[in-house]
Amino acid sequence: MSILKIKNLNFSYNNNKKVLNDINIEFEKGKIYGIFGKSGAGKSTLLSLLAGLEKTKDGDILYNDMDVDNISREKYRSTVVGIIFQSYNLLYKYTPLENVILSMNIAGIKNINKKEKALELLNKVHINEEKANSKVLHLSGGEMQRVAIARALSTSAEIILADEPTGNLDKANEDEIITILKNLAHKEDKCVIVVSHSENVKNMVDKVFYLENGKILDN
C-alpha cells in the first residue's frame, strides 16, 4: 500500500503560470525515489506540497489515504515528514546535538531521553560525540548534511523529503549521503523522496520520475 499519493495535482503560484500539471504518483514505504528535471521544472514546488509547506489548490495529496489538508499542518510537518535541503538549514552557532534536540522539542516529543536519542541518531550518520558537541559552523558540508539527516529522523518521520541534498557536495560525500538515505528506505522502511540533478543519484535510487514543464514524463 502506498503511504503517499498525489492525485490529479495542478498547481500555480499567484501569477497563474501552471507550475505542476496533472501529477499522479504513488509512493511506498521501503523505497527511495528520485525526482529529476531541469531547473524551473517544478521539483521544489512538488516537494513543498508533499512537505505541507505549500497548500494544494487543485488535486489532492493523501497520506495513508487521508487528505493532508485535513491533518493538522503542524502535526504533519513535525511528525510525518522530515525535510532535508541543499543548504542544510541548520542553526550554525549551535551544536549538532542542540540542533537535533531542538527539532524534537518543536515536535513536542516527551518521555524519552532526548540527548541519548539525538546522539544515537548522530552516531548513525557517523557524527561522533565529540563532533556532536562542537559548533555546526566548524563542520564540513558532508557532515552538515548528515546532521540535517539526523535532525529529519529525530521525530520518527516515516517520509523523508530531500531537495538537492547533495547539490553542494563532492562525489564521495554524495555517495555517502545517498547510501544513508537508501539504507533508511531499505533497512528502516522509510519512504525517501530525493530531488536531484545528479546522474550518480539517478543510478542509486529505486525509481526515477522526470518532471518537464510541470508534467511527469512516462518512462
User: Is residue 193 close enough to count as binding ligand ADP by CB under 6 A?
Assistant: no
Binding residue for ligand ADP, selected from 23, 34, 36, 37, defined by CB under 6 A:
37
Binding residue for ligand ADP, selected from 41, 127, 139, 180, defined by CB under 6 A:
41
- Least Å distance between CB 42 and Mg ion? 8
Binding residue for ligand ADP, selected from 19, 51, 80, 161, defined by CB under 6 A:
19
Stretch that binds ligand ADP, among 12-20, 128-136, 137-145, 179-187 (CB under 6 A): 12-20
Binding residue for ligand ADP, selected from 40, 137, 156, 217, defined by CB under 6 A:
40
Stretch that binds Mg ion, among 39-47, 106-114, 148-156, 200-208 (CB under 5 A): 39-47
User: Is residue 34 close enough to count as binding ligand ADP by CB under 6 A?
Assistant: no
CA distance 78 to 153: 11
Q: Closest CB to Mg ion among 43 and 114?
A: 43
Closest CA to 196 of 213, 173, 178, 182: 178
